[in-house]
Structure 1
Amino acid sequence: MTRKRRWTLYAIPALVAVVVGAYFIIGGDEQQAPTPLPRPPENVPQVLVALGDSTISGEGAGDYEPGTNGEKGDWCHRSRDASIHHTLVTGLQATISLACSGANSAQIGLGDIKQYTEPSQAGRLAVVARQNRVLAIQVAVGANDDPSFANSLNSCVEAWFDRTRKSCKDALGPEWQRRIDAMVPKVVKVLQDIRKVMSSAGYSDSDYRLVLQSYAAPVTPNLIGGLQDLSGCPFRTEDLQWIKDTAVPTLTVGLRKAATEANTRFLDLSKAGQGREACSRDNPDEEWFRRLAVEWTDLRAQERATHALQESFHPNATGYAEFGRCFGEFITFPAVREGACLVGRDGNLHAALL
């Protein structure tokens, strides 16, 4: 009897463990609800969203949204004529621009960096993505990072003024590839930040189309006679050639690499302005880019004077409409990774497959 009782006492804890374990294994599976898959918001407006710098904000087109034309230090110049508003995509309830002129990757991606008083564009996208059904996101980023493309153009103009200086081709050319290489990982991070924001809002990568677009060459060596000066395009011929044949193509290659690394669609605009660059036509209304532009009224106010040339060599309203149509066509192509904006037989830009 004593031996039998001892065996029973030792067996009880083991038996309890088996029973409790079986309860959690069997009962737990029955009671635990499956984790729902993330879903984008439903029964909300369908929208397109734009993030980026001046070529996305609509710099040069005028008709800027109130509060972005220098008011309280905000020079983001978000135009109602920006390309995101001209996609011709049907079924939309709105097109939303978060872009800001002069923005670099640090302000477009997640973080605390501000541009002209405005916070992170990716951070603001988080709110838009939860309140709307985002179908596609248009992004232009990189030119204001290491390439400092706008400042590079300014240095070309300065070289035209001062013939004792090196051409910008000779001054910038030897380090241009290094600048592009340094830019690439920053662009990749921005695209990854956008994916992170969209995922947090319930979107899978297949729920929307993320497109990184490149930059169009705003000037050409093929200038109309008499415009290679302050009346239009004050650049040395060798610098115009360098911008068209080297600077813009090299920048495009770097952006394509970033899009590939970030598993993002890529839209090549490098040749989008051919034949319509600044100073390429007798009639400036037939061009898609602004010539040297001075806002004379801004020169009269100290707080605005430094921005008086800000619109120079950016697309105009007509150019943005062309770029917008091309983007709209591109995002309707199913499962296409790369495309380009090229002039068609009708004289307008259209999306072409690469």
Structure 2
Amino acid sequence: MARSRWWLGACALAGVSLLIAMFVLMTADQAPDDRTGPPGRGPLTVVSIGDSTISGEGTGDYTAATDGKDGNWCHRSPNALVNDIELRGVTEHVNLACSGAASKHIRLGDKKQWTEPSQAQQLEQLVKDHRVAAVVVGIGANDDPQFSRLISQCFTAWFSDEAAPCNENIRSDWQSRVEAMIPKVAEALNDIHTVLREAGYRDEDYELVLQSYASPIGPDMPESLRNLDGCPFRKPDLRWVRDTGAVDLAAGLRRAAAKADARFLDMSRAARGHEACSGGDDTSSEWFTRFTVRWSDLEHADRASHAIQESFHPNARGHRQFAGCLSEFLATTDNAAACLEGDDGDLHPAASVTAEHGR
């Protein structure tokens, strides 16, 4: 009897030991570390990378270091959208975007923009003492599409009664320009992935979002403002920029985001009804600057060429609206969405629209 009890006790002890060993092994497989977010030390941070659409150009309030000092014209602003993005746990907002930047100025390498090293290199330094939760990117227009330059061409065409609308020349190779942009933007996004991966980040540790461009101008404005008092453009060109240019750019950028495994936020229709000059005598509903001259810059030879740089860029109201939509989008698990105006007059992320729907 005693021997039988001893045998039963030994079997029970062996069974318990086996269960404990299995539990330890399963726990080790399921939780290799206790990390629940970005690695490293420092504040949880959201970062903006890109060109003038995201740097803060157009708000008229720029940090001294980026308002021409020593040749730096990045025009970063405390009113830039990154500073209004709300994301759970984030306590710091860092703006690395620079007015005039193209994809090559984002990538790892030695390309500089307005005296600054590439934005990917700046991100490398930032992750040493910041925990990056999200990177929001606005880039591509200054690559092959040269969208800002095309708007300037349409601006110039207004002065000539004999010249054809500028969009007639643009259309001949517009789509091929957009196609050429796609791999360049994808490569820039991949370099951002590379920086974070080499810093020990896993894909699930952060969000990477590429946003497209909202049209700064449109055909729905009083005729009295289609001049140097506001928006000197021909009506066919205003329609092309809003209904074709911004929409085609968004379609190309969405493909670039997919190539680089980034999320995508379509801004192509975000500013409809809020473009520059759309408010007539009341500018309070507009999210973009009208034709703007910084007259004090004309008094200095080294600043004169930048006197109209902020024209037709998002103003502070626009940046706040875009930031609100971005904040809501980041809080979802959606891979893509479009910023559209809701019944409350504010932008919200909705089911992503295709280029055809945007026209």
The equivalent of 1:120 in structure 2 is: 118
What displacement does 1:62 show? 2.2
* 1:146 and 2:125 correspond: no
| 2:109 alignment partner AA | G
The equivalent of 1:100 in structure 2 is: 98
After TM superposition, list the pairs within 5 Å mapping 1:164-175 onto structure 2.
Answer: 164-175=162-173
What displacement does 1:352 show? 1.8
The equivalent of 1:289 in structure 2 is: 288
Q: Distance in 2 between matches of 1:126 and 1:269?
A: 28
Q: Distance in 2 between matches of 1:320 and 1:102?
A: 18
* 1:235 and 2:247 correspond: no
The equivalent of 1:223 in structure 2 is: 221
* 1:304 and 2:303 correspond: yes
What displacement does 1:98 show? 0.4
The equivalent of 2:324 in structure 1 is: 325
Q: Runs ≥4 in structure 1, deviation > 3 angstroms?
A: 36-40
What displacement does 1:110 show? 1.1
Q: Pairwise CA RMSD of aligned residues?
A: 1.6
Bigger shift: 127-136 or 250-259? 127-136
**Percent of aligned pairs sharing the same letter:** 49
The equivalent of 2:346 in structure 1 is: 348
Q: Distance in 1 between matches of 2:33 and 2:173?
A: 48
| 1:345 alignment partner AA | D
Decide whether the 8 Å contact of 1:339 with 1:351 is kept in 2. Answer: yes
Q: Distance in 2 between matches of 1:166 and 1:299?
A: 31
* 1:72 and 2:93 correspond: no
Decide whether the 8 Å contact of 2:266 with 2:339 is kept in 1. Answer: yes
| 1:327 alignment partner AA | L
Q: Distance in 2 between matches of 1:352 and 1:84?
A: 20
| 2:287 alignment partner AA | W
* 1:204 and 2:208 correspond: no
The equivalent of 1:19 in structure 2 is: none
Q: Distance in 2 between matches of 1:159 and 1:43?
A: 53
What displacement does 1:90 show? 4.1
Gaps of 5+ in 1: 1-35
What displacement does 1:37 show? 8.1
Secondary structure of residue in 1 paired with 2:46? strand
Q: Distance in 2 between matches of 1:62 and 1:233?
A: 18
Could you report, residue by residue, the CA deviation over 1:170-226 in whole angstroms, capped at 9, with x for unpaired residues? 111111001101100100100110000000111011110000000001111111230
Decide whether the 8 Å contact of 2:40 with 2:129 is kept in 1. Answer: no
Work out which of the two has the higher radius of gyration on C-alpha atoms and give 1 or 2.
Answer: 1
Secondary structure of residue in 2 paired with 1:230? coil
Cα distance change on mapping 1:38 and 1:305 into 2, 3 Å: farther
Secondary structure of residue in 1 paired with 2:264? strand
What displacement does 1:93 show? 1.8
Decide whether the 8 Å contact of 2:340 with 2:350 is kept in 1. Answer: yes
Q: Distance in 1 between matches of 2:273 and 2:199?
A: 42
What displacement does 1:89 show? 2.7
What displacement does 1:162 show? 1.7
Q: Distance in 1 between matches of 2:79 and 2:163?
A: 38
What displacement does 1:42 show? 3.9
Secondary structure of residue in 1 paired with 2:126? helix
| One of 127, 136, 142 as aligned partner of 2:134 | 136
Gaps of 5+ in 2: 1-31, 353-359
Q: Distance in 2 between matches of 1:254 and 1:353?
A: 18
Q: Distance in 2 between matches of 1:341 and 1:38?
A: 36
Q: Distance in 1 between matches of 2:90 and 2:344?
A: 26
Q: Distance in 1 between matches of 2:238 and 2:297?
A: 28
Decide whether the 8 Å contact of 1:75 with 1:116 is kept in 2. Answer: yes
The equivalent of 2:5 in structure 1 is: none
The number of residues matched between the two structures is 319
Q: Distance in 2 between matches of 1:339 and 1:169?
A: 28
What displacement does 1:310 show? 0.3
